[in-house]
């Protein structure tokens, strides 16, 4: 099964992620959201997608959607997008750690090692 694309033209799933980040449950939301999209073919940002993902996480779907539709969530997403553009990011996944950009999922481990000070290039004196 191929993920539905294009998906989420209103960016609701991304704004829900902003709510999740502020609430400390973004990791769980992201994992479940992408599993539903990639593996189960549920379109990101659809009401059915959000119910499928948020209910098992113990979240009130209507309350989360209301928070995600609030002006503050729209502004936060705009600010985060502008910050990414400021780093020259135009796609994903990309990771910025202490000003160092790592492009692509295959660079995740490098980004994590850079973040913890254990990257092989950080040992150069």
Tens digit of pLDDT per residue, the chain (125 long)?
Answer: 677 778 888 999 999 999 999 999 999 999 999 899 989 888 898 899 999 999 999 999 999 999 999 999 999 999 989 998 998 888 778 888 888 888 887 888 888 888 898 888 887 65
Give Cβ neighbours of residue 123 (< 8 Å, ≥ 6 apart): none
Q: Report pTM.
A: 0.79
Structure tokens at 5: 């694309």
**Number of Cβ atoms within 10 Å of the Cβ of 4:** 15
Give the residues across from 96 on adjacent strands: 101
Residue pair 113/119 in contact by the 8 Å Cβ criterion: yes
Give the residues across from 103 on adjacent strands: 94
The residue extents of the domains of the chain are 12-86, 94-123
């Amino acid at each position: 099964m191929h993920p539905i694309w294009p998906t989420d033209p209103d960016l609701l799933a991304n704004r829900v992620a902003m709510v999740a980040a502020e609430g400390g449950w973004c990791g769980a939301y992201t994992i479940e959201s992408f599993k539903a999209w990639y593996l189960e073919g549920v379109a990101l940002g659809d009401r059915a997608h959000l119910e499928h993902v948020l209910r098992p996480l113990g979240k009130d779907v209507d309350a989360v959607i209301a928070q995600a539709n609030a002006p503050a969530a729209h502004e936060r997403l705009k600010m985060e997008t502008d910050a990414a553009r400021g780093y020259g990011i135009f796609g994903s996944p990309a990771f910025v750690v202490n000003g160092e950009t790592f492009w692509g999922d295959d660079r995740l481990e490098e980004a994590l090692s850079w973040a913890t000070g254990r990257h092989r290039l950080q040992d150069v004196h």
